[in-house]
């Protein structure tokens, strides 16, 4: 979700020194593929073992969402004549890029995707893995500098990565027919429709598509499982470190916040049409990081600073809605894709938030009610919030004021509030629907890029986003594998779990090794992904039980309807 500031230095340094395995083989002609909309010219590149693969970047799947189309659902790309170049990435969405801690102008015309494949024969029927990037719904892209496909090519799959609209451009909601919300998720739906329609031209099997994503991308994956717009577009799902039940993944009073966006831009109005016209008129980059400028006083200290997010849409005649009911209601009613699910989180996600938390220790110690999650704090009395804050302080810190020496306890708290507990809730609601596999990612090696630059090396476990460097070849991690057979084995195994799941719906389909069994409410089995690699039960049980009681005592609707 976030990439902390010290990574900026790592990105700069490694981009100067990394020797990319994916150099273009100039001895071969650029391949040309004909999709439904026209012809595309790609490039031939090299896998880690030197074998070739085909790269098609910057493929337009939607029309430019500009002018009157800004904030609206995307329209399919129009057919073209001639051959379009697909050797370079398309523009990224205008954004505040958290990897470099700066604004990136990009271009609103950013609806493109990338396809990487080892075969261009339609008869190949290769399983397809479509990756939705994270970045707090405000940052990131599907570019190969971060999400290179080379590790997955050890397992005979096709990798697709997607750009979609971010922050206000992608998630503004005015509760009107013109701007009902969820444009960024509808971008992803259009990309999935493009994949279904065209992936066979790249050797892919349109009837064997797995969607996967991390953090905000993981939340997107679980939203697609609930959305009627996404039904039939995928056949398996992998959600890493994020689900749609998390408070940061769903908007709270988004139309009210939209007017605060306008005020931050100098347009203080109560007229929704006047607000829309103004938001359409300002340069796209001025819409980046508006969430930070629209925070309430409470939000400055409570929860993660993520405010332009998916929302429950109002129903409007003649429109496709992505989501019109609360995700918990949909789960409890069984209105969810009945596809195999691989789901989990990193063992120390909260390391990412340690630095920010320690800066606010004085505030949290004086008023621990700020530790109460936003979705509870907005539904109970001030007295209840205070009581819950004291209970949280007692459970994680023994009732004492926290200090910087309590890094492990702070990490556990932030892991639970922001990532792990909601994963357990989604899992519990879904596990009877289809085969579901739970994991805890706990590797700590040189590939834990985020943790290794965080300054908190002494905290146990894997930080938020550390798992990405075991799945994707990137500018930040590529050199670490050279000459390191142990790391190569770990990367091979993790990507094999993911690829085998994409192929079969089971991460361990062959006998003779680990038998990763599906999660059930009776056994609560999960696989611990670390050097020990073992099956276990009741992941983080004491902490899950604590939060069950908090939510139940809060009378939270989701707990009242179905208890863990």
Q: Which residues are catalytic, by number?
A: 215, 349, 464
Tokens standing for residue 305: 């600073």
Q: How many residues does the chain have?
A: 564
Q: Tally the C-alpha atoms within 13 A of residue 72's C-alpha that lie toward its C-beta.
A: 16
DSSP 41-57: E-EEEE-TTS-EEEEEE
Residue with tokens 């009073």: 253
Bridge partners (DSSP) listed for residue 204: 126
DSSP assignment, residue 381?
Answer: -
Phi/psi of residue 457, each to 5°?
-60, -25
Q: How far apart are the first and last CA of the chain?
A: 26
CB 290 within 8 A of CB 308: yes
Distance from C-alpha of 22 to C-alpha of 15, rounded to nearest angstrom? 14
Please state at what angle helix 407-415 crosses helix 382-397, rounded to 10 degrees.
130
407-430: buried (b, 16+ CB within 10 Å) or exposed (e) per residue? bbbbbbbbbbbbbbbbbbbbbbbb
CB 443 within 8 A of CB 466: yes
Alpha helices in 28-182, H assignment, sequence order: 144-147, 167-171
Tokens standing for residue 549: 């009681």
Phi/psi of residue 346, each to 5°?
-85, 150
Distance from C-alpha of 51 to C-alpha of 47, rounded to nearest angstrom? 5
Tokens standing for residue 484: 């390191």
CB 331 within 8 A of CB 429: yes
Among candidates 471, 449, 464, 451, which has minimal Cα distance to 11? 449
DSSP assignment, residue 473?
Answer: B
Among candidates 127, 32, 36, 18, which has minimal Cα distance to 76? 36
Q: What is the dihedral of CA 24, 161, 69, 310, to 10 degrees?
A: -160
Strand, helix or coil for residue 476? coil
282: exposed, middle or buried (C-beta count within 10 Å: 0-12, 13-18, 19+)? middle
CB 153 within 8 A of CB 22: no
Among candidates 261, 82, 91, which has minimal Cα distance to 168? 261
240-263: buried (b, 16+ CB within 10 Å) or exposed (e) per residue? bbbbbbbbbbbbeebbebbbbbbe
């Amino acid at each position: 979700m976030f990439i902390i500031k010290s990574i900026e230095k790592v990105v700069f340094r490694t981009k100067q020194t990394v020797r990319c395995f994916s150099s273009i083989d100039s001895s071969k002609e650029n391949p040309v593929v004909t999709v439904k909309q026209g012809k595309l010219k790609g490039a031939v590149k090299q896998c880690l073992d030197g074998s070739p693969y085909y790269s098609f970047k910057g493929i337009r799947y939607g029309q430019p969402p500009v002018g009157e189309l800004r904030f609206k659902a995307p329209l399919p790309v129009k057919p073209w004549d001639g051959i379009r170049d697909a050797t370079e990435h398309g523009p990224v969405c205008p954004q505040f890029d958290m990897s470099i801690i700066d604004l990136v102008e990009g271009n609103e015309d950013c609806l493109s995707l990338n396809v990487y494949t080892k075969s261009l024969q339609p008869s190949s029927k290769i399983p397809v893995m479509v990756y939705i990037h994270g970045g707090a719904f405000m940052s990131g892209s599907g570019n190969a500098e971060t999400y290179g496909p080379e590790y997955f090519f050890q397992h005979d799959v096709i990798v697709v990565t997607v750009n979609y609209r971010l922050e206000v451009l992608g998630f503004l909601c005015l509760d009107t027919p013109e701007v009902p919300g969820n444009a960024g998720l509808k971008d992803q739906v259009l990309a999935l429709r493009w994949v279904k329609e065209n992936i066979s031209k790249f050797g892919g099997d349109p009837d064997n598509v797995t969607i996967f994503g991390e953090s905000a991308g993981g939340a997107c994956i679980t939203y697609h499982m609930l959305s009627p717009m996404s039904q039939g577009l995928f056949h398996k799902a992998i959600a890493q470190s994020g689900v749609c039940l998390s408070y940061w993944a769903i908007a709270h009073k988004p139309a009210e916040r939209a007017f605060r966006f306008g005020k931050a831009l100098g347009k203080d109005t109560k007229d929704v049409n006047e607000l829309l016209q103004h938001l359409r008129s300002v340069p796209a980059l001025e819409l980046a990081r508006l969430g930070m400028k629209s925070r309430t006083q409470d939000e400055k200290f409570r929860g993660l600073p993520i405010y332009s997010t998916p929302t429950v849409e109002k129903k409007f005649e003649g429109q496709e809605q992505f989501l019109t009911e609360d995700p918990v209601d949909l789960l409890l009613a069984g209105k969810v894709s009945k596809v195999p699910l691989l789901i989990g989180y990193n063992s120390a996600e909260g390391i990412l938030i340690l630095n920010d938390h320690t800066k606010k220790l004085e505030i949290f110690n004086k008023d621990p009610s700020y530790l109460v999650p936003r979705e509870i704090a907005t539904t109970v009395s001030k007295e209840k919030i205070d009581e819950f804050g004291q209970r949280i302080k007692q459970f994680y810190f023994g009732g004492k004021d926290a200090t910087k020496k309590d890094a492990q306890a702070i990490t556990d708290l932030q892991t639970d509030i922001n990532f792990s507990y909601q994963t357990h809730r989604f899992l519990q609601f879904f596990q009877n629907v289809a085969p579901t596999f739970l994991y805890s990612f706990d590797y700590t090696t040189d590939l834990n890029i985020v943790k290794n630059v965080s300054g908190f090396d002494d905290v146990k476990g894997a930080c938020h986003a550390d798992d990405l460097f075991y799945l994707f070849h990137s500018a930040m991690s590529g050199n670490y594998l050279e000459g390191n057979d142990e790391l190569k084995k770990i990367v091979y195994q993790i990507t094999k779990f993911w690829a085998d799941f994409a192929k079969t719906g089971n991460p361990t389909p062959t006998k003779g090794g680990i038998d990763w069994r599906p999660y059930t409410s009776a056994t609560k089995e999960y696989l611990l992904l670390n050097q020990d690699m073992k099956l276990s039960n009741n992941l983080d049980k004491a902490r899950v039980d604590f939060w069950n009681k908090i939510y139940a005592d809060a009378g939270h609707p989701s707990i009242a309807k179905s208890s863990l």
